[in-house]
């Protein structure tokens, strides 16, 4: 059993609620989007931000899906089993991505903002939200203390978001807010699958064993970088060794 699976099995995790989502909805926001990132500290591959949204009008009819928790507290198997229920539970969900090259060129903070805005844009398009008179009010709950979403809105490469969300930051929102926990699980499962597919897609990537480390800096991954040099999917501006 992997150390990740052992920790997840042994840990009694906090159960997220919809308390913050309902509080924000009561302030007149029509859509609540939970946001969480995965891959920030990886040495290779993209960073991704999951977005799990609920319409305020439907919040009273939602219960928290059984077994939902911060993705870091769940085994890979439990995360994968949650994907279908979470997709059915949300009014819509999406995952935005920023590549390793964007991270190298723009920095991790801006890349996270771009990935988040790409996810928000996909949510708004799926729900057919449009700017203009009488438009919906959108709120986003972002895990952590720093609002990298709003900061990225003023950049030249900002995605065409229909409605600019009001961002609420909350430390450990991934363990206390159900939409953010859902976003963390969906993003983690997607990114793990992408890194596994990339690892198996070419002999060039095989030595790094991303199917096991998902691009993070394990001893074996760093040794492979030392032996073979970085690939075109590594974040070359980072301290790889």
Q: What is the CATH number of the domain that holds 76?
A: 3.30.420.10
Task: Give Dmax over CA atoms of the chain in angstroms.
Answer: 59
Total domains in the chain come to: 1
Mean pLDDT of 17-45: 97
Cα gap 131→64, rounded to integer Å:
30
Least confident interval from 20-24, 130-134, 177-181? 130-134
Residue 240 lies in a domain: no
> For residue 56, what is the DSSP state?
G
Q: Are 187 and 174 in contact (CB under 8 A)?
A: no
Residue 198 lies in a domain: no
pLDDT tens per residue, range 33-67? 999 999 999 999 999 999 999 999 989 888 999 99
Residue 143 in marked binding region: yes
- Residue 9 has a pLDDT of 46
Which residue, 185, 148, 165, 147, is CA-closest to 16? 185
Q: What are the CA-CA distances from residue 60 to residues 63, 70, 77, 115, 193 (Å)?
A: 8, 22, 30, 30, 33
**Reduced 3-state DSSP string for 60-89:** HHCCCCCCCCCHHHCCHHHHHHHHHHHHHH
List Cβ neighbours of 240 (8 Å cut-off, separation of 6 or more). Answer: 43, 217, 222, 225, 230, 234
With cut-offs at 50, 70 and 90, classify the pLDDT of residue 1.
very low
- Residue 135 has a pLDDT of 81
- Residue 2 has a pLDDT of 44
- Residue 65 has a pLDDT of 94
DSSP 85-107: HHHHHSSEEEEEEE-HHHHHHH-
Q: Are 37 and 115 in contact (CB under 8 A)?
A: yes
Cα gap 203→92, rounded to integer Å:
37
Residue 177 lies in a domain: yes
Residue 148 lies in a domain: yes
Residue 25 lies in a domain: yes
With cut-offs at 50, 70 and 90, classify the pLDDT of residue 86.
very high
Residue 42 lies in a domain: yes
* pLDDT of 131 over the 80 cut: no
Residue 26 lies in a domain: yes
Cα gap 48→64, rounded to integer Å:
23
* pLDDT of 8 over the 80 cut: no
With cut-offs at 50, 70 and 90, classify the pLDDT of residue 188.
very high
Residue 175 lies in a domain: yes
The C-alpha angle with vertex 42 and arms to 41 and 48, in degrees rounded to 5, equals 85
- Boundaries of domain holding 32: 3-188
**Phi, psi of 205, deg, nearest 5:** -95, -20
With cut-offs at 50, 70 and 90, classify the pLDDT of residue 12.
low
CA atoms within 13 A on the CB side of 84: 2
Task: Please provide the size of the chain in residues.
Answer: 241
């Amino acid at each position: 059993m992997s150390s990740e699976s052992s920790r997840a099995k042994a840990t009694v995790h906090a159960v997220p609620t919809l308390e913050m989502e309902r509080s924000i909805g009561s302030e007149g926001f029509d859509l609540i989007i939970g946001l969480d990132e995965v891959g920030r500290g990886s040495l290779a591959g993209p960073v991704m931000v999951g977005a799990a949204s609920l319409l305020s009008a439907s919040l009273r009819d939602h219960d928290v899906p059984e077994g939902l928790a911060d993705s870091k507290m769940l085994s890979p198997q439990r995360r994968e089993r949650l994907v279908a229920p979470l997709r059915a539970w949300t009014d819509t969900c999406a995952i935005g991505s920023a590549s390793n090259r964007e991270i190298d060129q723009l920095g991790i903070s801006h890349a996270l903002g771009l990935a988040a805005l790409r996810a928000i844009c996909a949510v708004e398009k799926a729900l057919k939200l449009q700017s203009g008179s009488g438009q919906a009010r959108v709120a986003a709950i972002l895990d952590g203390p720093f609002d990298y979403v709003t900061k990225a809105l003023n950049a030249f490469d900002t995605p065409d978001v229909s409605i600019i969300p009001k961002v609420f930051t909350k430390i450990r929102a991934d363990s206390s807010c159900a939409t953010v926990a859902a976003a963390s699980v969906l993003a983690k499962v997607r990114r793990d699958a992408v890194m596994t597919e990339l690892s198996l897609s070419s002999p060039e990537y095989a030595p790094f064993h991303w199917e096991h480390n998902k691009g993070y800096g394990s001893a074996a991954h760093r040794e492979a970088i030392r032996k073979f040099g970085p690939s075109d999917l590594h974040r070359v501006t980072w301290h790889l060794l």
